[in-house]
Structure 1
Amino acid sequence: MPPAQHTTAKNRALASTGWYKICRSLWHALKDLSLLRKYSLLCLFLKRVMSVCTRKGTSDSEIEAACKTETSRKKTPTLELSSATQLPESTNCLACSEDGRYLSLGHSQGLSVWCASSLICVAEWLQDRLEITFTQMTRMAETTYLLGTVDDMGVARVFAYHCEGIHLLCVINIMENINKRSICLTFELSEGGDYGAASIGCNSALWLEVFHFPTEAWLKELKMALSQKQDPNSSGDVDVKWSPATVVIKVKPPKIPAGTALDGPLEVLQMTDLLTHCLALDVDTSNSHQWEELSFNTDAGITKETNESPRRCTHHFLLPCGQFPVDGKAKSQPAGLPVAVCVWWSGSHNLLQYLLKKAPKNKPADVEPMTDVLWPNAKEILCSAVSRCTRYIALGLDDALVCVWDRQSGSPLSVVLVSETDSAFFRMQFVDYWLSAEDSQTFTAAKVHLLVLCKSGAIHTVTTGRGTQTCTMQHTERPKESRDLPTVTASVPFLPSLSLVMQRNGKMFLQDVISKTTVCFLIPPTSHLIATPCNPVYALNTREQTLFIKGDQDPSCSASSKEGSQSQLFIFCFGESEIIKQYIVSLPDSPRQQKTLSCVTLEETCNLYLQQRALFVDERNKAVRQTWKQLQDTAVIVQQRHSRAAAS
């Protein structure tokens, strides 16, 4: 074939797949740019498309779909990178304080605190052969912050940042005996730093320890340490004996005491026996799952490991909310101080609640605490979330059920069937991080919005409330390819209708939950990629409306200097973008500063519950009529199916 005819055949083949039309439309869409800028953008576009098209077995339809995807991406706005700075070596975790003033960074040499506005390191705590893998930061006083960390050896520590210095206050799990080494799996500080909860494992055993931190004593000791350091007569080494943290409760997986009779009639059981009965059902269910696994595993080693696998726990701190008299001492507590912690164990149907009260001095520390409230559920709990005011507790159950409990009334707000086709729930969160003060103190029908993530990658939204009709909607469908699976789907507090989505392929964008449209893409520089997209290192500054995220050098780019190849901290300022300004709302005060309604006596709680019931009589009757109509329609459909089956 002559060269001219060969070139014409190639052009016809290119046009047949839609490439030529797409490239031509893209070229004309960039008419306002210079010729060199047009050429560079078109080359970048073709490079991305060819990376998809060069896979073995890619059809023309897939090639055209890839071209259309890239073209639609060009139409979606892009949020420009505000700034970037170099990170310490092997930065593993990142956290931001609630007031947005400071960043906490955990890396291979220890811990650093940065100023969030200037991105200047203001304090460091360094130690050789120590790698921090988790960090959290909360404000303890006006200029004092508490930091909780976990290192790669499973040791949890509590630090204080005060007057440009980091002080180690206590170690949560000190390893005194190497044969009984305890490992901290999760560690969380309550807002304000009054309490901390650590999930600790040791030799196939697992338990949850809740600590009370002496914040007032620590503040005095920090001031004393600062005065000693500033004393010209001191040697420079400040040795302060910090006040110890005390264990409030130690919760273990529920076990049935030996000799407990649970075979009798349920009517004759006492309250304590009833709690034991409900816990026994969880233990029996857990054992039944284990026996099912044992029947398929004949290897003795696998059998032993399966039978002794510990039950993981999930916990949430709870603020005073005016529920049943277990919160009777809530009025004596400072505003915003947690009064309880709720816990559920893997394989369990029950959500357990424990009061955060000091244990009696004459009571042994290893005595199992008594459950104050038990929230029973029909199915196994898979995930959970608590609203920002902690009034509502959402539980993702097996068989695609979502149960929302209202702590103020002590009853379920709603039980919703989300989907019958999707896989099991993976994670859930409240879209609204707060409720207004009117919703928490008056008897209005407050709506609750939930974001439910499935293991398949599908995302659903649930809207419910007392006296309102529950609405479920599929936000995104299950991705066709595993690289498009979302690894992070986080609701942004100051963007209530938008969610931040990060995918396994490294793409990052803001998506409108209501219209299901992509608002804008967040793209790093061409020389860098989002670090570890399966588990990205990022932090949201809600006060400054900024996203901080770690980026690594792109290996496909040309090699640069050692400093240029280190990780970078990328900063995206949402408040500066005209695209996002229309979605931004102002944040209310922290729940620690809001007044909450609490009921001391059973009579006050019952009156509150009856007032709520009286206000929503019409809505409740309407919901009952709708439910009966649905039942009648379902009965007709079932009868028709039986009739057709009998006729055939």
Structure 2
Amino acid sequence: MYNRKGSAESEMSASSAKKFIKKPATLHLISVTQVPENTNCLACSDDGAYLSLGHSRGLSVWSASSLDCEAEWLQDRIEITSIHMTRISETGYLLGTIDEMGVARVFVYNLESLYCFSVINMVDDVSKRSVCLYFELCKGGEHGAIIMRFNSEITLEIYYFPAQDWLRELKDPKISSNMKWSAIVRVNRVNPSTAITTTLPNILSNFLVLDDTSEPPRHCTPHFLKRCGQSCGKIKAKPGSPVSVCFWWTGSHNLLYLLLSKTAKAKQDPEPTPLILWPNASEILCSAVSTCTRFIAVGLSNGLLCVWDRLSSSPLPVSGVSTDSAFVRLHFVDYWPACDDNSQLLTAGDVHLVTLCESGAIHVVSTGRGVATDTEQLSPRPKDSSDLPTVITSVPFLQGLSLVVCRNGNMFLQDVVNKATVCVLYLPAHHVLATPCNPIYALNVKQRILFICADQEPLPGTSFLDDEESQTRLLILRFEEHDTMKPYVFSHPESPWQQKPGVTGEEACNLYFQQRALSMDERHKAITQTWKRLRCATTM
């Protein structure tokens, strides 16, 4: 994601990869086992050891290697529709789920047993219950971000989960179904009105755009952020764990920011205001955070793409994407050449983003500090609606690649850096994607595997006699087993600014001015080329 010139190994990998992008290769997924009836969602633990499945009878945890069922939580008339899973100890995992009625639950899987520790929004009177729209656990499981809706009101709630206390309580030999576990703590509750009273630096107050609150927002989009330089003050957190959360409301111009805590706020201040605000000139349509969480990107309604560098506390060049429709989704593409030392952290480097528009067109934006922004169309607007992408996401263990899944079931991997299709993914014979408009899939980053659900169709000349024979199967693709993929496979390095002492404000300024001096020739060349294009345009 940083300077490509800084890593000879990455250059060799990119050079080797070019041999495979002239003609897309073909990779075949393998059908391995049947999944529970009406499986709605899959999630892999962040250490790659387990696969969790939400279905019409509850929740199951499988071994990601053997695909054996290790534990189940089965309940009649409870259909799990969303699931997230993270490791909290050597043998413990935290799971956050949502069911079809919008009820959020927290589970712990430990030593082949699955326990329900908390039902977050369950009340006796259904008419008074908030509906959970979104539930994400941070890495390590200490905090969760939950979007709740009650009537027309949308709120963002941040919870602290006493996971380590729960693990100690599980060692009690007198465990029973009526045991009282340590309580979860709601540490923040924020609604859209807080944007009006948000505290922000004076320099940003000149650009603050007050959101029109006449129409209630339909949703909120949060992102957990790990430590980056000195931006989090004296907040203590485990290495790799988040220390803050940024978020924005539908229809808003402003990106908000909150520090995470483990204790509830005073009762007289139930809705604390965000600490930092990043205002934008136009409405935010979508957002993304890089894997290392150093960079935050927002796509705006005026076709501009803005990227904020948290380490230097400054934006990268604003990019304009020429498109005939609005942004729908964007994501960073993992590209991780190595940094030799701390002095290279703020030097010029490429940041690659992929944007999906309402029309189905896909664009690639490459930008960086002190370099000219490059915007190209990766694929045009589909002529047939069946070719519209339903999934487009970065593959964290494949250098520079994005996975694309279309409505018609077509799947392929695209090399974003070299603007080419690397390979096409095929299902086994007589299989179709279970839900092409919303594919049920998960990526195992540690084992470098794609899991995806597909329906098995009857063989020619035969028909299914009963529902039991009409199976939904789990398909897998192990990328490391294919020579085509080997040049792209890589492991994430540790982010140096998260492992070393934070960069102070003075150091950040010095490095920034050093970078500006080093990039002067390149910036001058870009300006000269721009003036040449303008002269040509005026003489035509």
Q: TM-score normalised to the size of structure 1?
A: 0.74
Per the alignment, residue 56 of structure 2 pairs with 108
- Whichever residue aligns with residue 186 of structure 2, its letter is V
Pick the aligned partner of 1:542 from 426, 445, 464: 445
For residue 109 of structure 1, report the CA deviation from its aligned partner.
0.5
Do the aligned partners of 2:393 and 2:403 also contact (CA within 8 Å) in 1? Answer: yes
For residue 572 of structure 1, report the CA deviation from its aligned partner.
1.5
- Whichever residue aligns with residue 179 of structure 2, its letter is V
Do the aligned partners of 2:229 and 2:497 also contact (CA within 8 Å) in 1? Answer: no
Pick the aligned partner of 2:516 from 591, 616, 640: 616
- 1:263-342 matches, cutoff 5 A: 281-284=209-212, 287=214, 307=215, 309-324=216-231, 327-330=232-235, 332-342=236-246
Q: Distance in 1 between matches of 2:44 and 2:291?
A: 17
Q: Aligned in 2, Cα 1:584/1:273: closer, same or farther, shift over 3 Å?
A: closer
Q: Which runs of 5+ in 1 are unaligned?
A: 1-74, 230-236, 261-269, 288-306, 642-648
Which structure shows the bigger proportion of residues in strand conformation?
Answer: 2
Q: Distance in 1 between matches of 2:508 and 2:365?
A: 26
- Whichever residue aligns with residue 160 of structure 1, its letter is V
Q: Aligned in 2, Cα 1:360/1:531: closer, same or farther, shift over 3 Å?
A: closer
SS, match of residue 179 in structure 1: helix
Q: Are 1:387 and 2:281 matched, yes or no? A: no
Q: Distance in 1 between matches of 2:477 and 2:200?
A: 54
Per the alignment, residue 626 of structure 1 pairs with 526
For residue 192 of structure 1, report the CA deviation from its aligned partner.
0.9
For residue 555 of structure 1, report the CA deviation from its aligned partner.
6.5
Per the alignment, residue 294 of structure 1 pairs with none
Q: Aligned in 2, Cα 1:180/1:543: closer, same or farther, shift over 3 Å?
A: same
- Whichever residue aligns with residue 353 of structure 1, its letter is Y
For residue 439 of structure 1, report the CA deviation from its aligned partner.
7.5
Q: Aligned in 2, Cα 1:113/1:335: closer, same or farther, shift over 3 Å?
A: same
1:39-98 alpha-carbon deviations (Å, 9 max, x no partner): xxxxxxxxxxxxxxxxxxxxxxxxxxxxxxxxxxxx854323334201101100001111
1:335-371 alpha-carbon deviations (Å, 9 max, x no partner): 22322111111111111111113567644352x3122
Q: Aligned in 2, Cα 1:114/1:275: closer, same or farther, shift over 3 Å?
A: same
For residue 451 of structure 1, report the CA deviation from its aligned partner.
1.2
Q: Aligned in 2, Cα 1:472/1:504: closer, same or farther, shift over 3 Å?
A: same
- 1:130-529 matches, cutoff 5 A: 130-224=78-172, 227-228=173-174, 237-254=176-193, 281-284=209-212, 287=214, 307=215, 309-324=216-231, 327-330=232-235, 332-358=236-262, 362-364=266-268, 366=270, 368-419=271-322, 421-432=323-334, 436=338, 438=340, 442-443=344-345, 444-529=347-432
Q: Are 1:575 and 2:514 matched, yes or no? A: no
- Whichever residue aligns with residue 343 of structure 1, its letter is F
Per the alignment, residue 78 of structure 1 pairs with 26
Aligned residues: 515
SS, match of residue 211 in structure 2: helix
Do the aligned partners of 1:180 and 1:203 also contact (CA within 8 Å) in 2? Answer: no
Do the aligned partners of 1:383 and 1:395 also contact (CA within 8 Å) in 2? Answer: yes
SS, match of residue 510 in structure 2: helix
Per the alignment, residue 559 of structure 1 pairs with 463
- Whichever residue aligns with residue 227 of structure 2, its letter is P
Q: Distance in 1 between matches of 2:512 and 2:223?
A: 26
Q: Distance in 1 between matches of 2:273 and 2:337?
A: 31
Q: Distance in 2 between matches of 1:208 and 1:388?
A: 22
- Whichever residue aligns with residue 512 of structure 2, its letter is Q
For residue 517 of structure 1, report the CA deviation from its aligned partner.
3.8
For residue 373 of structure 1, report the CA deviation from its aligned partner.
1.2
Q: Which runs of 5+ in 2 are unaligned?
A: 1-22
1:386-407 alpha-carbon deviations (Å, 9 max, x no partner): 0111111011112221100011
- Whichever residue aligns with residue 348 of structure 1, its letter is S
- Whichever residue aligns with residue 427 of structure 1, its letter is R
Q: Distance in 2 between matches of 1:614 and 1:433?
A: 24
Q: Distance in 2 between matches of 1:623 and 1:499?
A: 30
Per the alignment, residue 9 of structure 2 pairs with none
For residue 497 of structure 1, report the CA deviation from its aligned partner.
2.9
Q: Aligned in 2, Cα 1:80/1:333: closer, same or farther, shift over 3 Å?
A: closer
For residue 322 of structure 1, report the CA deviation from its aligned partner.
1.7
For residue 278 of structure 1, report the CA deviation from its aligned partner.
6.2
Q: How large is the Cα RMSD of the aligned pairs?
A: 2.9
Do the aligned partners of 2:332 and 2:354 also contact (CA within 8 Å) in 1? Answer: yes
- Whichever residue aligns with residue 606 of structure 1, its letter is E
For residue 189 of structure 1, report the CA deviation from its aligned partner.
0.3
1:461-498 alpha-carbon deviations (Å, 9 max, x no partner): 11122233322221111111100111111221221232
Q: Aligned in 2, Cα 1:631/1:207: closer, same or farther, shift over 3 Å?
A: farther
Q: Aligned in 2, Cα 1:181/1:615: closer, same or farther, shift over 3 Å?
A: same
- Whichever residue aligns with residue 240 of structure 1, its letter is M
Range 442-451 or range 626-635, more displaced = 626-635
Q: Distance in 1 between matches of 2:370 and 2:202?
A: 35
Q: Distance in 2 between matches of 1:574 and 1:612?
A: 39
Q: Distance in 2 between matches of 1:469 and 1:323?
A: 28
Q: Aligned in 2, Cα 1:275/1:128: closer, same or farther, shift over 3 Å?
A: farther
- Whichever residue aligns with residue 320 of structure 1, its letter is R
Q: Aligned in 2, Cα 1:561/1:223: closer, same or farther, shift over 3 Å?
A: farther
Per the alignment, residue 7 of structure 2 pairs with none
Q: Are 1:89 and 2:37 matched, yes or no? A: yes
- Whichever residue aligns with residue 443 of structure 2, its letter is L
- 1:18-37 matches, cutoff 5 A: none
Which structure shows the bigger proportion of residues in helix conformation?
Answer: 1
Q: Distance in 2 between matches of 1:357 and 1:571?
A: 39
Per the alignment, residue 118 of structure 1 pairs with 66
SS, match of residue 272 in structure 2: coil
Range 382-391 or range 486-495, more displaced = 486-495
Do the aligned partners of 2:444 and 2:450 also contact (CA within 8 Å) in 1? Answer: yes
- Whichever residue aligns with residue 44 of structure 2, its letter is C
For residue 329 of structure 1, report the CA deviation from its aligned partner.
1.1
SS, match of residue 499 in structure 2: coil
- Whichever residue aligns with residue 121 of structure 2, its letter is N
SS, match of residue 282 in structure 1: coil
Do the aligned partners of 2:296 and 2:307 also contact (CA within 8 Å) in 1? Answer: yes
Do the aligned partners of 2:195 and 2:273 also contact (CA within 8 Å) in 1? Answer: no
SS, match of residue 502 in structure 2: coil
SS, match of residue 192 in structure 2: coil
Do the aligned partners of 2:364 and 2:378 also contact (CA within 8 Å) in 1? Answer: yes
For residue 551 of structure 1, report the CA deviation from its aligned partner.
0.7
Q: Distance in 2 between matches of 1:556 and 1:428?
A: 40
Query: Whose Rg is larger?
Result: 1
Q: Distance in 2 between matches of 1:580 and 1:156?
A: 38
Do the aligned partners of 1:350 and 1:377 also contact (CA within 8 Å) in 2? Answer: yes
SS, match of residue 37 in structure 2: coil
